[in-house]
Structure formats: structure tokens, C-alpha cells
Amino acid sequence: MPRKKKIEMEVVNHNAAGIDVGSKSHFVAVGQALEDVKEFGVYAEDLIKLCEWLLSYGITTVAMESTGDYWQNLYVELQKHGIEVILCNGKFTKHDVPTVRFNFGKRIAA
């Protein structure tokens, strides 16, 4: 079986992070290495820790999908902490780059 080609993307904003929003947890990536990804719960105290972690890395902007209703509490907490939020509609982002899909939880690029 041929090995999967490693996909590397140029970092264009070192103060930005990506969040994979979920019903039971959120995965946050502040860089491209595995240790740059952390899982957080969905409760208020978890969201505060998530925001504090982002700020400790100098993150000022995050991008995340508006998945169901799961993004709403996170959005409010990020705004309270002064972090700019860019909401993405998964229907559009997945069609723009159909061959690249990132799963922050498993760190797989397919």
C-alpha cells in the first residue's frame, strides 16, 4: 500500500488557531505539530481554560465550523476573552478543497 503524502501548509497567521467543534469535546490546534493540539471539554469551565490556553500562545483569531448548536457557547466565551472568531460553513469549506480534510482529534490529513 503506498504511503500517504504528508500535506504541509504555509502558516500565514501565527496568531491564528483552528478549532474542531464537537458535541462532547473541542480540539484546538495552535500549530502544525501534534503537541500543538489539545482537547477541551464543552462545559463553561472548560471553555474558559480553552480561551486562557489560546491567549497563552498569543492567539488573537480562531476559525471554526458552525457545527449544529455546539459552537454557540464557545463563540460567546471566545468573544468575552477578546478573541476574534471566524465562523466557517462546512458545506463551503469542504467543497473548496475537496482533497484535503483535517481531523484535529486524530491528526489525519486525507
- Structural domain span for residue 88: 16-109
Domain annotation covers residue 7: no
Residue 100 is predicted with a pLDDT of 42
Supply the pLDDT for residue 1: 56
The Cα-based distances of 46 to 12, 56, 62, 72 in angstroms read 28, 15, 17, 14
Half-sphere exposure of 106 (CA within 13 A, CB side): 6
pLDDT at 21: 93
Domains in the chain: how many in total? 1
pTM score, whole prediction: 0.76
Q: Does residue 49 form part of some domain?
A: yes
For residue 23, how far is the Cα from the chain centroid? 14
Distance of CA 51 to the CA centre of its chain: 12
- pLDDT for the residue numbered 99: 44
Q: Is residue 11 situated within a structural domain?
A: no
CATH number of the domain bearing residue 43: 3.30.420.140
* Residue 91, SS3 per DSSP: helix
pLDDT tens string, the chain, 110 residues long: the values are 566 666 666 778 889 999 999 999 999 999 877 888 999 999 999 999 999 999 999 999 999 988 789 999 999 999 999 999 999 887 665 544 444 445 555 444 43
| 4 part of a folded domain | no
DSSP assignment of 48-81:
HHHHHHHHHTT--EEEEE--TTTHHHHHHHHHHT
